[in-house]
Structure 1
Amino acid sequence: EETRAKVAQASVRIEAVQAKRELVRAKGKLAAMVGADPRNIDISNPNTIALPRLTALPELLAQLERAPGLSRARALVEQREAIVDVERSRRMPDVTVALGTKREDGRRQTVVGLSVPLPLFNRNQGSLLESLRRTDKARDELDGESLRLRAELYDAHARMSAALEEVALIAADVLPGAESTYQAASRGFELGKFSFLEVLDAQRTLFQSKNQYLLAVAESYRASAEIDRLVGATGPLTGTTQAQE
């Protein structure tokens, strides 16, 4: 029985060390994303950690319409359509007007002549069809790019929303509960009411909760950066805000 207790205690101690190491790594990842010093990230008060601001989806969709990728695709369509207009105009024959004079019955008369070539063999069909084909292809590419960007935007927005909800839940319920449990276990151990194993288990849970919180914050920043990339924001369109009490 004593051996099993020692093994269990060693196992919990190892898990606590691993949880602490993961917490340090999570701090480093978050610090790299927000440009901060990991030592300045105070997880003891999560409400002081700045969070990215979630912009409403309709506003982001409006921004997406002006994104560089769609603007380039749209400009290509307009260019192809202009070429089609040029090729279509070449199907119409040029009318040549000739003005001259002639003498008939001793009188000088003004003569106007019109010359219209008959497009019996060349109606510019080949060039026109090729330009129409290229225009259709450009429109398809524009539609495809729009659908792709919209899908990625919906996904990034959903991920960011879920991450921020997780952050709020952990900060409001999980972290306070884990901290309270650890403090109670530590005091109980000092009074002889709890075993050291229970203290280690509470400490491991606390470290895991803090790590989970930082990972959720980091995920919200990753999704925010993805949104900014999709809409072509030159600055952080999503902004930042403090975690709410």
Structure 2
Amino acid sequence: MSFHEALALARQRAPALLDAAGRVAEAEGAVAGAAPPLRENPTLSAEVGPRSVENGARRGVQYAVGLVQPFELGGRQGARREAARAGLARQTADQRDTERQVLGEVGEAFLRALYAQELTRLMSRTEEAARDLTHATQRRFDAGDVPVVDVNVARVALARAQATVAAARGEEAALLDELRARLGVPTGEPLAVRGELKALAALPVSATTEPRADIVALEAELAQAEAELRLGRSERLPDLSVGIRLEQEVDESALVGTLSLPLPLFSRGQEARVTGAARVNRLRTALEAARRTRDLQVQAATTRDRQRHEALEVLERDALPLLDENESLARKSYEAGEMDLAGLLLVRRETLETRVALLDSHLEAALARVRLAVELGVLP
């Protein structure tokens, strides 16, 4: 899969994103619960029984039917709706922020797996060159041009190249498994990466005016805390219960209205007010700190991205054009007897280290570009 295909698959199957989607669905339940105009249902009561006089004789049946509806005062239901909607907004923003972070982790895991794949190819080419050198040294030894020590040194270089290839392949497999875990891909399902680090290092990143999801989540959490604080303050006002009652006593009946109001002498929402005020103050401080941290993160990511690309540009401009030429000239000189084996191996080692450094620079530049996109919240 390509880089963008990996991100698309992460949006569909990453375990962390599936969990975040479930939390959004749960928050929708609180919104549904706060939607009705009244929180409490009306209560219907009924009483029935025989009526008797002093001598025990029955004089008919007495019954009563009543209907009572509690009402919240102080705007409690409105505050509860605001808190539920803010909670849903918070979970939605948390889902987007989780997506931002997960896509960044998947992008970095993809780049490292791609790096390991390109490193394996580079080491395989180095192994092939070492094998050719071993054969060439053996031919020169058979012709009596070089001592046996040169043959042994060439064989040692080949063994080192083979060991490096084996290690690179193992690292590639391990990094693919890490990518598989982040994508939620089962073990039996095939997975491979394709692309070029050089192209991904030039991934376009555009600025956005939209606030980052983690900031939006904190703003929504603050709005939820403020609504819950208003709800706690309104608990100083008791619930009002209004009802109607029909009473029937033998041949007499009465229709009366009822009104009940608990006296807020002891429980006045003290805990909700104190806890809510502390939470609001804490979240306001956290929001200010998060905004400052975001600005610093974007600044640091921008600086790192620029420096990594400057370093890559130096290697590509000043070193890359000379590598193939140097290696080719050194080999021709060795085969012509103008350079000894030690000199050839030194040139090859320097060439390989430079190629690995160039590959490392491609990786660092691509990682810096992905990190910048994550900090800006614009990873495609």
Q: Aligning the two structures, in what range does the TM-score lie when normalised by the shorter sequence?
A: 0.5 to 0.7
Q: Residues of 1 paired with 2:324 and 2:163: CA distance?
A: 15
CA contact (8 A) 2:201 2:367 kept: no
1:218 aligns with 2:354: no
Q: CA deviation at 1:135?
A: 0.5
Deviation at 1:174, TM superposition (A): 1.5
Does residue 179 of structure 2 align to residue 13 of structure 1? no
1:196 is matched with: 341
Aligned-partner residue type, residue 194 of structure 2: A
Deviation per CA, 1:16-62: give whole Å up to 9, x if none. 7289749966x959x9799316xxx6xxxx9x745333647xx36x4
CA distance in 2, matches of 1:161, 1:75: 34
Tell me: higher relative CO, structure 1 or 2? Use CA pairs within 8 A at least 6 residues apart.
1
1:113-166: CA deviation from partner (whole Å, max 9, x where unpaired):
xxxxxx999997765443221100111222333344444433333333222222
The answer for the alignment partner of 2:286 in structure 1 is 141
Gaps of 5+ in 1: 93-118, 236-245
CA distance in 1, matches of 2:294, 2:159: 42
Query: Residue 193 of structure 2 corresponds to which residue in structure 1?
Result: 35
Q: Structure 1 residues 15, 169: CA separation in 2 closer, same or farther (over 3 Å shift)?
A: farther
Work out whether residues 205 and 373 of structure 2, in 8 Å CA contact, stay in contact via their aligned partners in 1. Answer: no
Q: Which runs of 5+ in 2 are unaligned?
A: 1-145, 180-191, 238-263
Equivalent residue for 2:315?
170
The one of 204, 212, 215 aligned to 1:67: 212
Could you say which structure has the larger radius of gyration? 2
What is the alpha-carbon distance in structure 2 between the residues aligned to residue 187 and residue 68 of structure 1? 59
Residue 7 (structure 1) shift: 10
Contact 2:205 2:378 in 1 (8 A): no
Q: Could you tell me which residue of structure 2 aligns to residue 53 of structure 1?
A: 203
Matches within 5 A, 1:56-135: 59=207, 62=209, 66-85=211-230, 127-135=272-280
Distance 2:267 2:313 in 1: 71
Question: What SS class does the counterpart of residue 188 from structure 1 fall into?
Answer: helix
Name the aligned partner's letter for residue 227 of structure 1. L
Deviation per residue, 1:189-235 (Å, 9 max, x gap): 23332222222221222222111111111222223333333343351
Give the 3 Å change call, closer, same or farther, for CA 126–23 of structure 1 in structure 2: closer
Measured in 2, the distance between the counterparts of 1:132 and 1:69 equals: 22
Cα 1:189–1:74, aligned 2, differ >3 Å: closer, same or farther?
same
State the superposition RMSD in angstroms: 4.5
SS at match of 2:346: helix
Residues 180 and 158 (structure 1), Cα distance of their counterparts in 2 relative to 1, 3 Å cut: same
Percent identity between matched residues is: 19
Contact 1:16 1:203 in 2 (8 A): no
1:24 and 1:80 mapped to 2: Cα distance? 52
Q: Which amino acid aligns with 1:225?
A: V
Moved more, 69-78 or 14-23: 14-23
What one-letter code is carried by the residue in structure 2 that aligns with 1:144?
A: A
Within-5 A mapping of 1:149-188: 149-188=294-333
Q: C-alpha distance in 2, partners of 1:189/1:232?
A: 54
Note if contact 2:370-2:379 (Cα within 8 Å) is conserved in structure 1.
no
1:91 deviates by 7.4
Report how far residue 172 of structure 1 moved.
0.8
TM-score of the pair, normalised by structure 1: 0.57
Determine the structure 2 residue equivalent to 1:232: 377
Instruction: Count residues with an aligned counterpart.
Output: 193
1:112 is matched with: none
Which residue of the partner structure matches residue 255 of structure 2? none
